[in-house]
Amino acid sequence: MCADMKPANSTTWRTLQNIVSTPTNLVVEGGREVPLTTAANHLVSFFKKKAVKHPEAKEPQAPPRPTSMFRAITRQELVDALRYIKCHRACGPDDVYNEALVHLPKVARTALLRMFNRSLSRGIVPREWKRGTIVPFLKPGKPAGKVESYRPITLTSTMAKLMERIIHGRLRHLVTSENQAGFRAGMSATDVLMWLRAQVQPTSASKTPRTSAVFVDFSRAFDSVDHDLLLQRLQKLNVDPHLAHWTLNFLTDRQVRVRMGHRHYSRTEVFTCGVPQGTVLGPLLFNIFMEDLTADLNRSGALHYFYADDLTIVARGRDLELVLKQALDMLSHWPRTHFMDVNVGKTNVCHFRSRRDAPVLRYRSMELENVETPKLLGVTFSKHRGFGHHTKSMKNKSLKTLIKLSAVSNTLLGASRDAIRCFHLALVSSSMQYACPAWFGIASDTDLDTMDSVQAHGASLACGLPATTNTYDSLLEANVPSVSEKAKYLTFKAFLLSSLRGGPRAANVARCFPPSSEIGKLHTEITAAYGSVEPLADAPTLNHRIIIRPWTLEAVTKEMDDAVKKKVSGEAVAHRHPADHEVWTDGSYIEDTSSVAGAALIFKKGRATKQSLSVERGARAFAHNAWLYMPAYVALSPTSASTVVSVS
């Protein structure tokens, strides 16, 4: 069986997952194992208790029937939503798979679009779309015998998810805060971790002020979202009444049941609070709900960053104790009005690089635990400089996985060499390289050597080499890069991307990687061959991609004249920032003059203007457009006839 394991086979990964993962199909009650159906009933009762409306919360009042003009869902919105559907995913209670929706013929898509518009115009969600099946996932490091150790992930109707994706496209522009990185395009957990590193990392220019951070853990955050307050928030943001009415109906009277194994189900329960985890719209609604807290914390003067429901508050300088107390006082008031609790037992504080007696911080008269190795989003920081604790935890985790992986790596009867190598890269190497921009440059050479030795151990396992084989030889034989080299590449890539995006993220990477650092020196060395590499000072920076609301543009149909189609297309392009244009070139350049020819098509107020370009010192940037994404970073020196200030 092991010899037939292939990375491209889904059965192989399911078998490997059963070997590597911890069993999660048993719930122990009173020291004894219970049947799966009984366990499912225990879990659904526990999840329902978490999603019960607060006694002081008001019942959501259905908004009045919308009188504004209904903005129908366009066929293009449906096509865009179908394009983002992922196949080979689990179906919901209706047993409709994504593959069926992707391959719908034109007539069926028209009928589906008509049904979506009818649902949105009336603000009514079909009952089948509000049914869900909860698949409990064991939280990392939690005992499988306790019901509170499981995270509820809901499987819902695939047609409901398709409709949610369309609604998501019309609501996502409401989340504008730079302090939320969870569930947002172009942002990830690495942004939060690099932000924290930038705050606590000492600078050589001057004496670094004292820095303290509070890591806040919310209890039942997604399950505590009050529907009435969420509706008020949507109305405050002037959301289309049809969208607000549909969203409230989508969240009301949701019926769920828990599935254990493949065919053991619990009884059906009705949830009256919260946003369902596992849906497309749930995370966005949660971010919208938390925008009020972000605004309150900004007024307190404390720096903070969200990743979904993980909140980190940072204060620096002499008044950090006062600033953190004000932030905690504001944080204690907000849950009372929004019916969301803070788990004080899991909320802790760390005073970085402080050798004096740490100030005592309290939340509602309860003292917060002072820790020296706080853990945020899977990365363990240290009170003092270094990442030794994170390295140790990654080593222990990786070695446990390698021990389990050795069960299928016999040189005679085990899986093939390429298969084991693929398993190692997916299960071990990727976990060690996780969020490497947050620790690369701070981790010591000893830490890097430790992770490289674990990488070499996995490489030796894949190739069937003796355990005493040299680290370099093992990596070379398996064609696997060392963790230090891969982390350096990924960190440099993140450095360039964050620098291009500008704003707070560019400031964070500039602080994390000054010119004297290894990444800073590498950047200087590479960009020296490109002439002028100063940032584009004249062009405003776009932190996020421009989102054009589809209902603000005139709908285009195939019956329209070409002139009308061209006009509407020009208006769509004009929504982009006037300083952001595309330049086309064949990549050729003149060696003697170091110049290159290009052309740009610029839309201004719906009218197209053609311009020819002759760019000095930009030839190599065009010709070597695949080398470390440098064309997007090089500041070109256009001639007097050119007004283009950015290159894509």
Identify any residues that bridge with 350 across adjacent strands, giving them in sequence order: 213
Is 145 in contact with 26 (CB distance < 8 Å)?
A: yes
What pLDDT does residue 598 have? 63
Report the amino acid identity of residue 220. R
> Per residue, what are the HEC states of 99-154?
HHHHCCCHHHHHHHHHHHHHHHHHCCCCHHHHEEEEEEEECCCCCCCCHHHEEEEE
pLDDT at 266 over 60: yes
d(CA 105, CA 155): 25
* 611 and 520 in a common domain: no
Q: Write out the two tokens for 491.
A: 């960190």
Euclidean distance between the first and the last CA atom of the chain, given in angstroms as a whole number: 50
**627 within some domain:** yes
Identify the sign of the CA torsion 301, 292, 308, 337: positive
* 524 and 396 in a common domain: yes
d(CA 600, CA 610): 6
* 482 and 394 in a common domain: yes
**494 within some domain:** yes
Domain boundary among 477, 497, 530: 530
Is 224 in contact with 274 (CB distance < 8 Å)?
A: yes
Q: Write out the two tokens for 211.
A: 């820095």
- What does the mean pLDDT of the chain come to? 78
How many Å separate Cα 5 from the centre of its chain?
32
User: Which residue segment(s) compose the domain that 610 sits in?
Assistant: 550-632
**408 within some domain:** yes
pLDDT at 1 over 60: no
**6 within some domain:** yes
* 554 and 628 in a common domain: yes
Q: In this structure, how many other beta carbons lie within 10 angstroms of the beta carbon of residue 639?
A: 11
pLDDT at 643 over 50: no
* 516 and 405 in a common domain: yes
d(CA 310, CA 342): 11
Is 108 in contact with 148 (CB distance < 8 Å)?
A: no
**569 within some domain:** yes
* 588 and 503 in a common domain: no
Kindly report, residue by residue over 220-238, the tens digit of the pLDDT: 888 889 898 999 899 888 8
d(CA 439, CA 513): 11
* One-character DSSP codes across 626-645: TSTTGGGT---B--TT----
* 481 and 520 in a common domain: yes
d(CA 442, CA 319): 27
d(CA 411, CA 43): 43
d(CA 568, CA 532): 38
* 429 and 522 in a common domain: yes
Q: In this structure, how many other beta carbons lie within 10 angstroms of the beta carbon of residue 76?
A: 12
* 582 and 475 in a common domain: no
What pLDDT does residue 634 have? 34
* 390 and 522 in a common domain: yes
If pLDDT is split at 50, 70 and 90, which confidence band does 629 have?
very low
d(CA 511, CA 520): 10
Kindly report, residue by residue over 425-468, the tens digit of the pLDDT: 888 888 899 989 999 988 888 999 999 998 888 888 888 888 78
d(CA 518, CA 442): 11
Domain boundary among 495, 530, 565: 530
**500 within some domain:** yes
Kindly report, residue by residue over 99-157, the tens digit of the pLDDT: 888 888 999 999 999 999 999 998 889 999 999 998 888 887 777 777 888 888 888 89
What pLDDT does residue 110 have? 92
* 519 and 490 in a common domain: yes
d(CA 24, CA 138): 6
Total domain count, the chain: 2
* 495 and 414 in a common domain: yes
What pLDDT does residue 166 have? 93
**413 within some domain:** yes
**585 within some domain:** yes
